[in-house]
Amino acid sequence: MIPQSIKNNLLLSYKAEVVEEVCSKIEQKMASGKFEAGSDGGLRVYLGKMCESATKKPVERSEDYKRYRADNIFTELVKENGERWFSETVAKIKALPKDVIVAIIKQAEGSYWFNKVYVESDRTMSPEDEKLLTKMFQEGKTPASNLTEDEKIVSDKCLKREKEIKSKALAEASAVVYEIYFKNQLGV
């Protein structure tokens, strides 16, 4: 089922026992119809990943999962708790005492997830707005200085977008912090 050329290629990098074990598992899945190979290249890459995973120690696999979960925690929590998880969690946070909300927000602002969402958010602008903003920066103009009408519009647009991004990042990070740290402490 799996071409010998792919097996030979894998044998250059992995032990024969690992390659045989992985290939036999995949061939069983292919025979039962649970796995379908799209192309030889895709199959080669998939088998390579499987062999790499099989050669890792359990500690290494758990470290890979921890990294994956940290990078995708929001998506993982939505998968685990359902599509309405985020809105329900925000509602639960709003119902908490003010001092607990402040503690959650403080921890969320320094969290990895806040920084990830904040940095990766889209801040694209039209070329004209970008050119005008660059000119303002080069001239050292700030929103507090005397701006022309066009400069004021662009400045307000940028500040509004930045505020939206920060708000989104803070809301997501607060939900994650609540779910992971505070939920068990509060006994909710």
pLDDT tens digit sequence for 11-39: 888 888 888 898 898 888 888 888 777 77
Go through 62-101 and write b for each residue having 16 or more CB atoms within 10 A of its CB, e for each that does not: eeeeeeeeeeebbeebeeeeeeebbeebeebbeebeeeeb
In a domain, 119, yes or no: yes
Residue 109 lies in a domain: yes
pLDDT at 186: 64
Judge if 9 and 96 occupy the same domain.
no
State whether 46 and 98 are in the same domain: no
Residue 118 lies in a domain: yes
Task: Indicate whether 9 and 93 sit together in one domain.
Answer: no
Per-residue pLDDT, 18: 87
**Is there a domain that residue 27 lies in?**
yes
Is residue 72 situated within a structural domain?
no
Which range of residues forms the domain containing residue 121? 84-186
Do 34 and 119 fall within a single domain?
Answer: no
Instruction: Say yes or no to pLDDT of 188 above 60.
Output: no
Q: How far apart are CA 26 and CA 42, in angstroms?
A: 13
Task: Supply the pLDDT for residue 38.
Answer: 75
Q: How many distinct structural domains can be found in the chain?
A: 2
> Can you give the pTM of this predicted structure?
0.59
Evaluate whether residue 63 is within a structural domain: no
Is there a domain that residue 71 lies in? no
Same domain, residue pair 96 and 166: yes
- Residue 19 token pair: 């390659």
Same domain, 29 and 95: no
Are residue 25 and residue 99 in the same domain, yes or no? no
In a domain, 147, yes or no: yes
Percent of the chain scored above 90 by pLDDT? Answer: 17
**CB-CB contact of 114 with 169 (8 Å):** yes
